[in-house]
Chain A
Amino acid sequence: MLANIPMIFILVGLAAYIVLAGADFGTGFWTLVFYRKGGDRAEFADSLHNTMGPVWEANHVWLIFILVVCWTAYPVAFASIASTLSVPLLISAVGIISRGAAYALRSQFAAAPKERLIDDRVFALSSVLTPFALGAAIGGIASGRVPVGNAAGNLVTSWLNPTSVLIGVLSITTCSYLSAVYLAGDAWRRADTDMIHVLRKMSLRAGIAAGALAMFGLFVLHADARPIWNGLTNGFGACLLCLSIASGLAALILVWRNKFGLARVSAALTVAAIVAGWAVAQQPRLLPGLTVTQAAAGRSTLIAVIVSLAFGAVVLVPSLALLFGLSLKGRFDTSLSVDIPPAKIANQTGNYASILAPVAIGSLLAGTAGTIFGSGWTQISGVLCLCLFAALGFVLAATPVDSLDVTVKQK
């Protein structure tokens, strides 16, 4: 039982990554589509960036979360997966760097049109490449093509095979769909009628495409990854598949009826249900000949991971709720910018330098002596004194001593 808990965290992280970062990746696909159509592409791209800007970094951390839990709790499985699937993982890594660079380029400034074009293209291409490569890697695991061992599997067919290509393409389509629904909801909040119209159409098209592809994919699984097919068509796996289909249809209807908020929830449920369905279909096997329990690290490591994840969740969940609460309510909208009131000028607190300076010099002397000649606790106190001196010395050096800013010599 203990051995399965980190896997549940990984699956939750995976579902969160697909839903949240997927919506982000999807924006790249839509800028690519807008290339052909021309028109107010730049304006469209800007609106996508404005919606995603505050949340993309946090969405991205889910991937790191998945990797670190995997290598701590299931080290042999992680090493086997990463070494055999090195090609798609490298491709996705390149895509992730390029996207990050494009985001950085865009996030804070308006660029010149020529720079914009390169930037948009890099962004769009890497946004398509990364979900495909990561989806293909998942396909390799699901179809049992990653054996245990150091690069023991085939470096090409482990990720270029029917199941991998299916999941890769399905990832791109799903990301586009999630993104269109997410953005449509944002346009609805801003009451941007033109955008709502465009994005609603996009959502419906991408949703139907993703649904059709997923249905077709079941036949691919039947031919290429029979254990997953069996798992998804029997017992609890079948229930989850039905839940996914039902919530997928519900999401489409909700988009049709302009209920974008509920459509987001329903689309997220579709993804979560299919991730859970995959896990149920594949369990207890993680890799061929290796069950989750066999792959798991020892008891002390598992407990340490679970305790850390539990404490981390206590910090993380309210923080994420705060960020998304602000973002979804449009609190970061540029149009909402309120002129900041002038800060109150605090009363002069007197010449605090005369108090701080002796303390700083004392801690420097004590710290130097303790760090160099101390051992054990005297050394620790010495280092702490040095840190105290650093803080005080910085404040003294960085704030003018006599009055507010006369120390800066006018040229």
Chain B
Amino acid sequence: MNAIFATTLFAPVNQSYLFQARQMQALSFSVHIPLVCFGIAFPALVLFAEWRYLHTGQLVFGQIAKTWSKAMITLFGVGVVTGTILSFEFGLLWPGMMASFGNVFGLGFALEGFSFFVEAIFIAIYVYGWDRMTPKAHFLFGIPVAIAGVTGSFFVISTNAWMNHPSGFVLKDGHATDVHPWAALFGNPYLWHEFVHMYFAGYVVTGFVVAGYYAWRYLQGNWSRYEQNALTIALSAAAIATPLQGIIGDWVARDVAQMQPVKLAAMEGVGQTSNGAPEHLFGWYNGQKVVYGIAVPRLLSLLAFHDSNATVKGLDAVPFDQQPPVNVVRFAFQTMVGIASLLSLVSVTYLYVRFRLKRLPATPWFYRSVVLAGPLSVVALIAGWITTEVGRQPWVVFGFMRTAEAVTGAKGIPVGYGTLILVYLGLGTVAAWLLVKLGRAPTKLSTAPSKGKPSGFIYAR
């Protein structure tokens, strides 16, 4: 019954605004993804600061934890609403995909929903609970926030990995039957590199954005122990995570080469299948090959297969109408790698000064580069997602359903897109204004002895 409905009534429609629909979805993702990074990494950094406070009794760490936790709940609130919009858009823009495959990958989102619940509940208890419970109880209430931030993103990435490397079903008359949702989501070899890569990206983005703010304070001449310690914690997280992304990236590239060779070909602009393929820096893909680029012989084969003579599949392995837009994917990929290299340089400089000279860097140039690193890390993050998501085109469910087959038949996509742009502009203004205002005044943490008596873990009236 179901299969008949899906095939007859969700047959592909003629949508003139497919491109706008994709742009609308991409815009919503780009707004939400940086907030996910904060969901992954920020609770752990806040808890680290609070642990330092409990451990050393130094008030400055308590101030950092308290101030950051307020920024954290603000970002979480914005993340809740932008995440809601994404779930709306799955139905509003891509009903064809939901009708045919909701039963396969939907479970990931159901599990993510529970993570979201746990995060929302404990983040409220944690942030509104400052000065209202024993310090130890307060610290413990933060732990579920950190765990749920990671599990929530894990479940969402499991559905994205499924879209890139679908399995766990049999396609019969345009409809998924014989569905194994657990295997489809968590038995997928594409999941793990994607999750680890994103998990480290969470620390890169959160660390550099937060550190960038305090570096800016340094340049403004505000450099108290509060700023010094806040910068040290945030920048340490980013500086450790960034160089490791290079090693993880090697793993990601080899998995992509194996499981999505066409995406790799688009990332590198490989027109024809060849042995001992060269790696091109910069340049432009003209439909056949990369022109005006710097070629490093055999490097691509070496990187993708750890064998300088390995065969790298070219875009010609599939018909033209199954190839992604090469230059978009390639440019996004090179942007990500380029920024990551610059950020690694900043990271290694920091770690060297930190461990060998046992101090913080003292030159203003270092702090200027950290200020820049904040927004650049967000650009690299979005470029990375463009690489994987545009590289998946023209498929929405790789190899099974084209994006054009998934799109809604409803009219008025440009109107919806325009509305959403305006709303996000407003949201961005508010968020920026808020965070600047928040960072300017460190929150007070009282020092006087307790007047209340604990009843259990919480202070009584």
Contact B52 A68 (CB under 8 A): no
Pick from B200, B240, B250, B426: contact of A393, CB below 8 A: B240
B residues 367-399 in Cβ contact with A at 8 Å:
none
Question: Which of B226-234, B293-301, B322-330 lies at the interface with chain A?
Answer: B226-234
Q: Measured between alpha carbons, how far is A294 from B9 in the docked complex, in Å? A: 14
Which residues of chain B come closer than 8 Å to A60, judged between CB atoms?
A: 80-81, 84, 120
Task: Tell me if B282 is interfacial: C-beta within 8 Å of chain A.
Answer: no
Instruction: Report the minimum CB–CB distance from B215 to chain A (whole Å).
Output: 14
Most buried by B among A68, A339, A387: A68
Which residues of chain B come closer than 8 Å to A148, judged between CB atoms?
A: 5, 9
Task: Tell me if A343 is interfacial: C-beta within 8 Å of chain B.
Answer: yes
Question: Which of A100-108, A161-169, A204-212, A269-277 lies at the interface with chain B?
Answer: A100-108
Task: Tell me if A309 is interfacial: C-beta within 8 Å of chain B.
Answer: yes
Question: Chain B: interface secondary structure?
Answer: helix
Task: Tell me if B447 is interfacial: C-beta within 8 Å of chain A.
Answer: yes
Q: Measured between alpha carbons, how far is A404 from B450 in the docked complex, in Å? A: 26
Contact A151 B125 (CB under 8 A): no
Task: Tell me if B54 is interfacial: C-beta within 8 Å of chain A.
Answer: yes
Which residues of chain B come closer than 8 Å to A55, judged between CB atoms?
A: 124
Which residues of chain B come closer than 8 Å to A373, judged between CB atoms?
A: 306
Task: Tell me if A371 is interfacial: C-beta within 8 Å of chain B.
Answer: yes
In chain A, what residue has the closest Cβ to B76? Answer: A57
Instruction: Report the minimum CB–CB distance from B238 to chain A (whole Å).
Output: 10
Contact B1 A294 (CB under 8 A): yes
Q: How many A-B residue pairs have CB under 8 A?
A: 371
Which residues of chain B come closer than 8 Å to A343, judged between CB atoms?
A: 53-57, 62, 135
Task: Tell me if B427 is interfacial: C-beta within 8 Å of chain A.
Answer: yes
Which residues of chain A come closer than 8 Å to B85, judged between CB atoms?
A: 93, 96-97
Q: Measured between alpha carbons, how far is A33 from B188 in the docked complex, in Å? A: 54
Q: Measured between alpha carbons, how far is A83 from B88 in the docked complex, in Å? A: 10
Question: What string of 1s and 0s marks CB contacts (under 8 Å) between A55-94 and chain B?
Answer: 1011011011101110111011011111110110110111
Contact A155 B410 (CB under 8 A): yes
Given A79-B96, A316-B117, A394-B240, verify A339-B446 contact (CB < 8 Å).
yes
Question: What string of 1s and 0s marks CB contacts (under 8 Å) between B448-460 and chain A?
Answer: 1111100000110
Task: Tell me if B281 is interfacial: C-beta within 8 Å of chain A.
Answer: no
Contact B2 A155 (CB under 8 A): no
Task: Tell me if A1 is interfacial: C-beta within 8 Å of chain B.
Answer: no
Question: Chain A: interface secondary structure?
Answer: helix
Q: Measured between alpha carbons, how far is A86 from B89 in the docked complex, in Å? A: 9
Which residues of chain B come closer than 8 Å to A346, judged between CB atoms?
A: 55-57
Question: What string of 1s and 0s marks CB contacts (under 8 Å) between B92-112 and chain A?
Answer: 100110111111101101111
Question: Which of B262-270, B283-291, B358-366 lies at the interface with chain A?
Answer: B358-366
Contact B228 A408 (CB under 8 A): yes
Which residues of chain A come closer than 8 Å to B200, judged between CB atoms?
A: 390
State which size class the interface on A falls in.
35 or more
In chain B, what residue has the closest Cβ to A81? Answer: B91
Task: Tell me if A367 is interfacial: C-beta within 8 Å of chain B.
Answer: yes
Task: Tell me if B6 is interfacial: C-beta within 8 Å of chain A.
Answer: yes
Question: What string of 1s and 0s marks CB contacts (under 8 Å) between B231-275 and chain A?
Answer: 011001101110010011011000000000000000000000000
Contact B132 A331 (CB under 8 A): yes
Most buried by B among A87, A92, A339: A339
A residues 381-411 in Cβ contact with B at 8 Å:
383, 386-387, 389-390, 393-399, 401-402, 404-405, 407-409, 411
Contact A96 B98 (CB under 8 A): no
Pick from B58, B132, B359: contact of A336, CB below 8 A: B132
Pick from A297, A308, A371, A387: contact of B179, CB below 8 A: A297
Contact A304 B181 (CB under 8 A): yes
Instruction: Report the minimum CB–CB distance from A358 to chain B (whole Å).
Output: 14
Which residues of chain B come closer than 8 Å to A96, judged between CB atoms?
A: 81, 84-85
In chain A, what residue has the closest Cβ to B452? Answer: A338
Task: Tell me if B18 is interfacial: C-beta within 8 Å of chain A.
Answer: no
Task: Tell me if B305 is interfacial: C-beta within 8 Å of chain A.
Answer: no
Instruction: Report the minimum CB–CB distance from A306 to chain B (whole Å).
Output: 10
Contact A341 B449 (CB under 8 A): yes
Instruction: Report the minimum CB–CB distance from B174 to chain A (whole Å).
Output: 12
Given A96-B84, A150-B409, A407-B359, verify A319-B58 contact (CB < 8 Å).
no
Q: Measured between alpha carbons, how far is A15 from B313 in the docked complex, in Å? A: 54
Instruction: Report the minimum CB–CB distance from A391 to chain B (whole Å).
Output: 9
Task: Tell me if A233 is interfacial: C-beta within 8 Å of chain B.
Answer: no
Contact A99 B10 (CB under 8 A): no
Given A107-B77, A341-B450, verify A316-B5 contact (CB < 8 Å).
no
Given A94-B419, A371-B247, verify A69-B110 contact (CB < 8 Å).
yes
Given A76-B6, A83-B409, A397-B240, verify A345-B92 contact (CB < 8 Å).
no
In chain A, what residue has the closest Cβ to B177? Answer: A298
Task: Tell me if A217 is interfacial: C-beta within 8 Å of chain B.
Answer: no
In chain B, what residue has the closest Cβ to A373? Answer: B306
Which residues of chain B come closer than 8 Å to A54, judged between CB atoms?
A: 124-125, 128
Given A98-B426, A101-B430, verify A301-B107 contact (CB < 8 Å).
yes
Instruction: Report the minimum CB–CB distance from B180 to chain A (whole Å).
Output: 6
Contact A389 B124 (CB under 8 A): no
Contact A398 B233 (CB under 8 A): yes
Task: Tell me if B442 is interfacial: C-beta within 8 Å of chain A.
Answer: no
Given A64-B84, A100-B78, verify A71-B109 contact (CB < 8 Å).
yes
Given contacts A79-B102, A383-B251, 5 further A-B pairs with CB under 8 A are A60-B120, A69-B110, A75-B106, A397-B239, A397-B355
Nearest first, the 8 A-B pairs at minimum CB distance are A82-B91, A72-B106, A75-B102, A100-B81, A297-B103, A79-B95, A397-B236, A79-B99
